[in-house]
Amino acid sequence: MILIDKCRQLDRLAKLIETRQTGNATQLAKKINVSRSKLYEIFEDFKMLGVDISFSKEINSYYYTSHFRLKVNTPIQVISSDEKELVNGGCSINLATNNTPNNFCKSLMYNAAI
């Protein structure tokens, strides 16, 4: 699974917990396409981040028990060539040239100092 899919999976999990629509562990694992054991590993990761989660038999859902919530931002976006031109910042390295990353960075620092 690629990174963006994992982020979407965590985002779905966070939203299900927030809205208390998880179901039990087996149902929730199926909703986010992981095994039950993997789900419990994710909950342990949440706990290490200070995000406490409990299960309520009354509402048949997991819910947040701490003041912390999980917010997942998708870190990767694919943009078109036209959109690339609108991005202000960063630069491109032409790997076909002899500019190694170190030479390229030195060149940038030199040109910025001028």
Answer left, alpha or beta for residue 19, where phi above 0 means left and psi between -120 and 50 means alpha. alpha
CA proximity to 51, closest of 29, 72, 70: 70
CA proximity to 16, closest of 5, 4, 27, 1: 27
Tokens encoding 43: 């909950």
Tokens encoding 100: 């190694």
Which single residue is written with the structure tokens 């790997």?
95
Same domain, 16 and 55: yes
Domain that holds residue 101: 81-113
* pLDDT tens digits along 52-64: 999 999 999 999 9
- In terms of C-beta density within 10 A (0-12 exposed, 13-18 middle, 19 or more buried), how is residue 110 classed? exposed
Same domain, 8 and 51: yes
Number of H helices, E strands in the chain: 5, 2
**Residue % of the chain over a pLDDT of 90:** 40
pTM greater than 0.75: no
Q: How many domains does the chain have?
A: 2
The residues with which 62 forms a beta bridge, in sequence order, are 55
* pLDDT tens digits along 85-113: 776 555 555 555 554 444 545 444 444 44
Residue 34: which CATH number?
Answer: 1.10.10
- Does residue 41 belong to any structural domain of this protein? yes
